[in-house]
Amino acid sequence: MSTRAWTWVHKWSSLVCTLFMLLLCLTGLPLIFHEEIEHLSGVVEAPPMPEGTPNVSLDRIAQAALARRPGEVIRYMFWEQDEHPDITYVSMARSVDAPPEENNAVIVDSRTARVLDEPKTNEGFMYVMLKLHVDMFAGLPGMLFLGFMGLLMVVAIVSGVVLYHPFMRRLKFGALRTQRSARIKWLDWHNLLGIVTVVWLCVVGLTGTINTLNRIILGIWQMDQMAEMTAPYKGLPPVTRPAHLEASIRAAREAVPDMEVRLVAFPGTMFSSPHHYTFFLRGGTPVTSRLLKPALVDAGTGRLTDSRDMPWYVKTLFLSQPLHFGDYGGLPLKLLWALLDLFAIAVLGSGLYLWLRKPKGATAPDLASDDLADAGPVPAHALRHGGANEVTS
């Protein structure tokens, strides 16, 4: 491609996605520290008890949740042992097929089956930040739209890197022309921060795009592997008297003894079937702790019927999620992610500023001659790029 073509690609991909990327960077900043913010905001934790206190059976926990919200059913149970130890989260609704927004949460102490809280899941600062970051309160269309904006950002980054080399051919790497106009200074900072964060921005952009396909990928898994695992039960009447939950989870643990249960999907829910409990288990290594393995247990008999590793496309989704938010390396990595996020905000903001403040009626060669006057003699194609880079930033 010619320099002019790369310039056109960089200009329009940048202009289309900049405002949405600014939104994602600004909302993503508090989401990086969601655990710390939750603790500071007073989220309920399990009270201290002697170390090694055993957990009660899941059946008692289920009974406590049902007693707290009579007339509702349990759809999911899940645990975040690393973040909130000794807590069981119970997701309930009027029916197993109720819309996700009708979810009601009950927090239960895993050791005593005492209900600790019924938090509101659809309000508060972090909820607003998450919804803006995920789908802008527009559901699946908003999610897919933001995924497309992420791809445009990657295109803008790649085209910017292609254009950066000839532009800086006669300047030292990272040079800041502090004696020039304010606009030139902004241009140099824009280019410097952009090239420093290029790898991180590509990683975050691509993983974010993958995450926006979450519902589609899991839907494919349901029609593919999940349908194959539950095929022998097709056409059978739903289970009306499910087996004991504790016996069912014990069957899943015995089938995969080196993994721990992270989530239970009850019969009839989105990630199960009318005849099964689906237990999603995770490993103990840095990689396998981010992956889930389903184990299906017959809800009528409490016996394991199938357990398989997830297909590659689901694994790709699971591995992209922690990489996107930097939540797999503790606080130091979160701080690094936050710093890079601030750099990205500066790149996007400076690019928008440069575009809005471009001289009226100026052409690319005119701008190039002014911007690169301090860089010494340069080839014609570099002059064309230098001006184009400023125009499009």
Kindly state the DSSP code that residue 209 receives in the 8-state scheme. H
Q: What are the residues whose beta carbons fall under 8 Å from the beta carbon of 258, sequence distance 6 or more?
A: 283, 284
Q: What are phi and psi of 327, to 5 degrees?
A: -105, 30
User: pLDDT by residue (tens digit) across 338-370?
Assistant: 999 999 998 888 888 888 777 665 444 334 334
Burial of 144 (0-12, 13-18, 19+ CB in 10 A): middle
Residue 342 has a CB neighbour count (10 Å cut-off) of 14
pTM for this entry: 0.83
Which residue ranges make up each domain of the chain? Answer: 39-123+213-325
What distance lies between CA 28 and its chain's CA centroid? 9
What is the rounded average pLDDT for all residues in the chain?
Answer: 85
In angstroms, the CA 348 to CA 326 distance is 20
DSSP line for 343-377: HHHHHHHHHHHHHHTSPTT--HHHHHHHHTGGG-S
The answer to whether the CB of 41 falls within 8 A of the CB of 357 is no
| Residue located via tokens 């992420």 | 150
Residue by residue, pLDDT tens for the chain (393 residues) are: 788 888 889 888 988 999 999 999 999 999 999 888 888 877 888 999 998 899 999 999 999 999 999 999 999 999 988 888 999 999 999 999 888 888 999 999 999 999 999 998 888 888 999 999 999 999 999 999 999 999 999 998 888 888 877 766 666 666 667 677 777 777 777 777 877 888 899 999 999 999 999 999 999 999 999 999 999 999 898 888 888 999 999 999 999 998 999 999 999 999 999 999 999 999 988 788 889 999 999 999 999 999 999 999 999 999 998 888 877 777 888 899 999 999 999 888 888 888 877 766 544 433 433 443 333 333 333 323 333 333 333
